[in-house]
Structure 1
């Protein structure tokens, strides 16, 4: 895949302004932003890096936080309930020995901080654009840092909404009078549907600039320890593909296939975000948490001995190349299968990734499927044997035995509070926090 420097020497950030007259559409005001450097990224020191003991804390659909009941409370009660729920979670994570929280600050086209680019998230108040009365990201950073824990701001780059219901469309359209309005109304020509969601088309250069500016806003304003993108790049399902034919016609010249062009687009975003973060604050780590399989060996001799859904072929994310090019401080593949799952064995994938990062400066953290612990499964019965502890132990043992694996991240936080996982939670506490 070719890598090209962006068409301009300047990265633009979008400060959103509404026109004074309500009959006029809102406009983006393009303002200068840090130049996109052409020099190599600075080297990444691995000194003084304790093993990663992380957990993902999801806010999309209120999966882990905030509490659903808090949304309908009075403003004062809502704030106190949400803040107490978060500090309770951090207290528990601290007792388990967790040292890093991956906090989902952009679950879709909305924000969990007072953004000048995105409207407030409806996960907080039930209404897109409504000020929750406090800054959740700042609160999380203050409380986590107070406890000696790190926070990585977790972004879903392209998702605008989790569904395409008429009520969702109405809510997005209603942000027209907000400042800022949703990208759904501000840049309607960027919006596509895929997997029954509204998404931003990754092939549009200005859309990639926009995503970069969202990340830059957080890195400039907050003392985050890291930034992470999850695996939602090109997201499609068989009955709900992304129609980017016109975008391909406009920007895809010179590519042998749409697939190659899509992978190129994804890499351009990663490169642009990586450089921007390093220019703003070299100490902020940038990482990606992709699907566990890069490519299957049946499709590529460099791939893993697996037969699972592959990031390269399905999300158009050449995650291995990003590591090789030094675009990431860390990669956290989601290796969400047990040792006995022949299609995608845990040990096969963990060792494959360890070999990929070995000649590079990219750290490797393995994402572990804590959400499967205690859940009966015909294909993966190991998760229920003795509360899932033997399987979990094997995975953590392997992670700690391979020198090129630098830690583990558990998916996801609320499963630490479920009855079926309590034996495994006790095990984690004993292992990570010495009892």
Structure 2
């Protein structure tokens, strides 16, 4: 497989900015001294028993209260203790892998030379938290025999477009590094009521790849994962990439085909970069559970759900077929009885997709729905959701193509409505 081209040292100047503006930082690829080594044989793989740990909006971590701690020392202590407590609980449940969100938006949870520090840690973008959360979780998880995959949201810059958010992003101009929002305003679009990067701009894809390269080359992460936010639009807030399409879309029959091409270029570039830097680091994607519906494509699943191919412009099946991913973790967040997107229909469909390939299949399971009343999905509340969860795990273990399960997401393990299910997981997976 050819290495994808690599553009480095992209430095665009902010229009109209006085004196010398800060430069965009793109990490060049280190020279690889040794030839690539094959990844570990599949026989060495434990079944995946994973959990997503979200930092965006402090959903799972860090504790909201820690940001208002009386001192930096107190804040650090609270944040670190919260993380080690979580790891201890996960270990007791038999969880062996944590998908830790290191890039929730246009900020970082490690001391990056490309991204400013995340405001999730201190309340202020660019403020040094006084420790390295990524190194901390790696040390603590590895000490407990658990793996950590660095989870990146590739294109999101912010979770909203409020004037206060714009002011916070603009205020990073004097920082080193500043936010991409001020360094490359021409890359920024609005979509889904958020600021995002335009996936059609080659330099923006290079920039994302350089961020992954920074983490992979400096940290002993076990894997890298992108979630399902590629082209992330909403009906009332579409991404306006008409100008980008005019500039880069020649030769494509439709904007949709061009968008899918852009998404694939990012996946190819990141995949090749990781394998060049550290062949042992796994690269995976966690897309929406439906690739395409049978009604749109004879190769699709017998479902009627939102499809990654048509809505996120992500041809996830093709990435598997091309060998670009070590694993794929579709989010199959429905019960067996949901006719529009049955769990078993989708799990079997994905099992058939990976069957002729070397890509491992993990299934993302909707822990967040367990115990929650729902007219369309009542099974999640029957006996605390345990029978539904058991059926899903039983199916995962019965299909040889499925290599494990990932729960979305960590904080739901601590909610009252999930405790019957948590006890069940402990009895099934725990030591």
TM class, shorter-chain normalised?
Answer: over 0.9
For normalisation by structure 2, the TM-score amounts to 0.95
The answer to whether the Cα contact below 8 Å between 2:384 and 2:420 also exists between their aligned partners in 1 is: yes
Evaluate the alpha carbon distance shift between residue 17 and residue 33 of structure 1 in structure 2; reply closer, same or farther with a 3 A threshold.
Answer: farther
Cα displacement string for residues 208-229 of structure 1 (whole angstroms, at most 9, x for unaligned residues): 0000000000000000000000
Between Structure 1 and Structure 2, how many residues are aligned? Answer: 426
Is 1:107 matched up with 2:104? yes
The answer as to whether partners of 2:84 and 2:140 remain within 8 angstroms in 1 is yes
Q: Distance in 1 between matches of 2:412 and 2:27?
A: 43
Among candidates 401, 412, 415, match of residue 412 of structure 2: 415
So what's the TM-score if we normalise by structure 1?
0.94
CA shift for structure 1 position 433: 1.4
Partner-residue secondary structure (3-state), 1:33: coil
1:407–1:269 CA distance, 2 compared to 1 (3 A) = same
Q: Deviations over 1:308-339 (max 9, x none)?
A: 00000000000000000000000000000000
Trace 1:182-193 onto structure 2 (pairs within 5 A).
182-193=179-190
Q: Secondary structure at the match of 2:361?
A: strand
Match of 2:20 in 1: 24
Question: In the alignment, what sits opposite 2:338?
Answer: 341
**Retained in 2: the 8 A contact 1:16–1:29?**
no
| Unpaired segments ≥5 residues, structure 2 | none
* Greater shift in the superposed pair: 22-31 or 209-218: 22-31
1:117 maps to 114
Q: Distance in 1 between matches of 2:106 and 2:180?
A: 7
Provide the C-alpha distance between the structure 1 equivalents of 2:122 and 2:319, rounded to a whole number of angstroms: 37
Match of 1:141 among 132, 138, 141: 138
Aligned to 1:60: 56
Per the alignment, do residues 4 and 197 of structure 1 end up closer, same or farther by CA in structure 2, a change over 3 Å counting? farther
Cα 1:31/1:194, change in 2 over 3 Å: closer
Please tell me whether the aligned partners of residues 34 and 276 of structure 1 are also in contact (alpha carbons under 8 angstroms).
no
* Residue-by-residue CA offset, 1:281-326 (whole Å, 9 max, x unaligned): 0000000000000000000000000000000000000000000000
Equivalences for residues 26-425 of structure 1 within 5 A: 26-28=22-24, 32-33=28-29, 45-73=41-69, 74-425=71-422
Give the deviation of 1:41 after TM superposition. 10
Contact 2:285–2:325 (CA<8 Å) still a contact in 1? yes
**Separation in 1 of the partners of 2:426 and 2:176?**
45
**CA distance in structure 1 between the aligned counterparts of 2:366 and 2:332, rounded to whole angstroms:** 7
**Residues 373 and 332 of structure 1: CA distance in aligned 2, closer, same or farther (over 3 Å):** same
What is the deviation of 1:47? 2.8
Shift of 1:25: 2.4
Output the CA distance in 2 between the equivalents of 1:16 and 1:95: 49
